[in-house]
Amino acid sequence: MLRTIINLDETDRRWLDRESKATRLPMTELVRRAVKLYRIQQESRECPDLHRSLAETSGIWRHGDGLAYQDRLRDEWGRW
Protein backbone atom coordinates (compact mmCIF):
# COMPACT_ATOMS: atom_id res chain seq x y z
CA MET A 1 0.00 0.00 0.00
CA LEU A 2 1.31 3.44 -0.87
CA ARG A 3 1.48 6.19 1.68
CA THR A 4 -0.05 9.53 0.67
CA ILE A 5 -0.17 12.86 2.43
CA ILE A 6 -3.31 14.97 2.01
CA ASN A 7 -4.32 18.39 3.26
CA LEU A 8 -7.76 18.82 4.83
CA ASP A 9 -9.44 21.92 6.05
CA GLU A 10 -10.00 22.09 9.79
CA THR A 11 -13.73 21.36 9.66
CA ASP A 12 -13.26 18.21 7.57
CA ARG A 13 -10.40 17.02 9.77
CA ARG A 14 -12.49 17.43 12.95
CA TRP A 15 -15.40 15.60 11.33
CA LEU A 16 -13.09 12.79 10.23
CA ASP A 17 -11.68 12.54 13.73
CA ARG A 18 -15.19 12.30 15.26
CA GLU A 19 -16.26 9.74 12.66
CA SER A 20 -13.14 7.70 13.35
CA LYS A 21 -13.91 7.59 17.07
CA ALA A 22 -17.60 6.81 16.50
CA THR A 23 -16.91 3.94 14.10
CA ARG A 24 -13.72 2.78 15.82
CA LEU A 25 -12.00 2.79 12.45
CA PRO A 26 -8.72 4.54 11.75
CA MET A 27 -8.97 7.77 9.79
CA THR A 28 -6.85 6.21 7.08
CA GLU A 29 -9.43 3.44 6.62
CA LEU A 30 -12.25 5.96 6.37
CA VAL A 31 -10.33 7.91 3.74
CA ARG A 32 -9.54 4.72 1.79
CA ARG A 33 -13.23 3.76 1.80
CA ALA A 34 -14.28 7.23 0.71
CA VAL A 35 -11.79 7.25 -2.17
CA LYS A 36 -12.83 3.77 -3.26
CA LEU A 37 -16.52 4.67 -3.21
CA TYR A 38 -15.83 7.84 -5.19
CA ARG A 39 -13.77 5.88 -7.74
CA ILE A 40 -16.51 3.28 -8.18
CA GLN A 41 -19.12 5.99 -8.67
CA GLN A 42 -16.99 7.78 -11.24
CA GLU A 43 -16.17 4.59 -13.11
CA SER A 44 -19.83 3.62 -13.24
CA ARG A 45 -20.59 6.93 -14.96
CA GLU A 46 -18.52 5.72 -17.92
CA CYS A 47 -21.13 3.10 -18.85
CA PRO A 48 -24.05 3.47 -16.44
CA ASP A 49 -26.44 1.31 -18.46
CA LEU A 50 -24.13 -1.69 -18.22
CA HIS A 51 -23.51 -1.29 -14.49
CA ARG A 52 -27.21 -0.72 -13.78
CA SER A 53 -28.18 -3.76 -15.85
CA LEU A 54 -25.62 -5.95 -14.13
CA ALA A 55 -26.77 -4.81 -10.69
CA GLU A 56 -30.44 -5.34 -11.54
CA THR A 57 -29.97 -8.81 -13.04
CA SER A 58 -27.33 -10.24 -10.72
CA GLY A 59 -28.45 -13.56 -9.27
CA ILE A 60 -31.74 -13.93 -11.17
CA TRP A 61 -30.85 -17.26 -12.83
CA ARG A 62 -32.31 -19.97 -10.59
CA HIS A 63 -32.45 -22.96 -12.92
CA GLY A 64 -29.29 -24.88 -12.10
CA ASP A 65 -25.87 -24.53 -13.66
CA GLY A 66 -25.93 -21.60 -16.08
CA LEU A 67 -22.80 -22.74 -17.90
CA ALA A 68 -24.28 -26.20 -18.54
CA TYR A 69 -27.41 -24.52 -19.93
CA GLN A 70 -25.30 -22.37 -22.26
CA ASP A 71 -23.38 -25.43 -23.43
CA ARG A 72 -26.64 -27.23 -24.29
CA LEU A 73 -27.81 -24.23 -26.32
CA ARG A 74 -24.51 -24.03 -28.15
CA ASP A 75 -24.63 -27.74 -28.95
CA GLU A 76 -27.84 -27.02 -30.86
CA TRP A 77 -25.99 -24.51 -33.03
CA GLY A 78 -23.62 -27.21 -34.27
CA ARG A 79 -26.51 -29.38 -35.50
CA TRP A 80 -27.65 -26.87 -38.10
pLDDT in tens, 37-50: 999 888 877 776 88
Residue numbers in the chain where pLDDT is lower than 50: none
Q: What does the pLDDT read at residue 8?
A: 96
Q: Domain-by-domain residue ranges, the chain? A: 1-58
In CATH terms, 1-58 corresponds, of 3.20.20.220, 3.40.50.2300, 1.10.1220.10, 3.30.70.260, to: 1.10.1220.10
Question: Which alpha helices (H) appear in the chain, and where do they start and end?
Answer: 10-23, 27-46, 48-57, 66-78
CA dist list (Å): 59 to 36, 64, 72, 74, 77 = 24, 12, 20, 22, 26
**What letter represents residue 33's amino acid?**
R
